[in-house]
Chain A
């Protein structure tokens, strides 16, 4: 296949993905109004901006709570030997 044929094909798929970047979530109108009021004269451009910001903060916090160490006890012993040899432990 010619190079630009391959490249162009990929480009179309990505344009489609770019269009699907946002979705709609429903929140109570009263909450929407409260947020709209709250964000006046702040850096937030819209209620969506604010909601995205707050949700990202909360989601990251919950994800952090679910974390576990990325190594086994076997790894730890091997790494400890290296750290001792290098004078770190």
Chain B
């Protein structure tokens, strides 16, 4: 691998775990998340000469777009029945219960709102950075975040319920 290839390798090593996790939160499926990440990285590699100054932002945008396309295609797909969360083989604890509930709840939040929630609170992007990724205004990000949280609150209810549920185990 030449020097440019090593730069790309360093970039992938540093950023791909976070991007994969973002893709997973957006798609709700590990396989689809890996597909989206690989395709996004392919696009980044193809345009490396022009995007190498900020490859993370470029790849993140590609991941978000690919995940959106995947989400839109879900209703038309042939093979698309997946577990809402990775299987749990042991007794659930509070963290597992919360995680599974959140993954399930996130899937019920409209895609645009979910993307805002993931970018803002998982990737820790600012409102302006989120707006840039999504190609929308800062006001739209604020609005989508507000509606997303409201939807999430509606779906998961009070987090204290999880403690009561898991305490019972």
A binds B: no
On B, residues with C-beta under 8 Å from A are none
